[in-house]
């Protein structure tokens, strides 16, 4: 009986510890400024203990700053600080404009840094938003096969920055929802395998 009384709190503590450690991530809703203060306080580190980098999470102009444990200032009396040994600048052509639902994330348990945002299709609260943040340089174009929550596949075509047509197909038959373009909203109800073509007026 004593053993059982001792094991129950231990099991509860173990379960609580597993739940508390299930999500080891840092998340931010804006990029780190590409400044000294941004590097020091907001950029996210990634590495293996010897070789590392600071990731700023910019949209159109990403900055990766590398450092190595062997490159250090200071001497026997003064510890100093680790120093960067190189920079990699990644230019993403025509992707410097405003974006929707930006998020950068450091998954500590996996050692992985993610940056996600939405340009052509946004899904929120059961609503599909077409072309929420189209870059100015992408005046005319089309995209096929965008996947959205609920089992939907979306094709979009636009010209001169305006929607020409969109087709929404249901793979899983999630049923109802809405489609938005600008201030226009249309109800969406599709059975598995059905599709609907929409114009700029969502008709």
The single residue listed with the structure tokens 């870059």 is: 135
What is the residue-wise DSSP string for 113-124? Answer: EEEEEESSEEEE
Tell me the pTM: 0.57
Q: Which fold has domain 119-198?
A: Immunoglobulin-like (2.60.40)
What is the β-pairing status of strands 152-159 and 162-170? antiparallel
Written as six digits, the tokens of 203 are: 């008709």
Other C-beta atoms lying within 10 Å of the C-beta of residue 46:
17
Mind listing the pLDDT tens digit for each residue in 115-133? Answer: 887 788 988 888 899 998 8
Domain boundaries, the chain: 25-117, 119-198
- pLDDT at residue 166, rounded to an integer: 96
Measured from the Cβ of residue 120, the count of other Cβ atoms closer than 10 Å reads 20
Look over the chain and give the mean of its residue pLDDT values, rounded to a whole number: 81
Specify the residue for token string 């809703």: 29
Most confident of 20-34, 87-101, 153-167: 153-167
CATH architecture type of domain 25-117: Distorted Sandwich (2.70)
| pLDDT at residue 9, as a whole number | 42
The predicted-structure confidence for 123-179, as pLDDT tens digits, reads as follows 888 889 999 888 777 889 999 999 888 888 999 999 999 999 999 999 876 566 899
DSSP state of 15: H
């Amino acid at each position: 009986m004593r053993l059982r009384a001792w094991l129950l709190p231990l099991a509860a503590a173990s379960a609580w510890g597993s739940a508390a450690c299930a999500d080891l991530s840092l998340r931010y809703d804006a990029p780190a400024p590409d400044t000294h203060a941004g590097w020091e306080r907001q950029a996210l580190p990634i590495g293996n203990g010897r070789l590392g980098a600071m990731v700023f999470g910019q949209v159109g102009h990403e900055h990766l700053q590398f450092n190595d444990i062997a490159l250090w200032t200071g001497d026997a009396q003064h510890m100093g600080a680790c120093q960067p040994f190189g920079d990699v600048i990644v230019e993403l052509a025509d992707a410097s404009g405003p974006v929707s639902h930006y998020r950068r994330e450091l998954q500590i348990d996996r050692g992985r840094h993610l940056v996600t945002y939405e340009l052509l299709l946004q899904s929120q609260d059961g609503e599909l938003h077409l072309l929420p943040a189209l870059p100015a340089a992408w005046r005319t174009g089309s995209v096929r096969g965008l996947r959205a929550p609920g089992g939907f596949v979306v094709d979009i075509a636009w010209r001169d920055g305006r929607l020409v047509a969109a087709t929404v197909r249901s793979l899983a038959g999630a049923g109802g929802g809405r489609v938005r373009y600008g201030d226009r909203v249309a109800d969406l109800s599709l059975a598995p395998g059905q599709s609907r073509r929409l114009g700029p007026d969502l008709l």
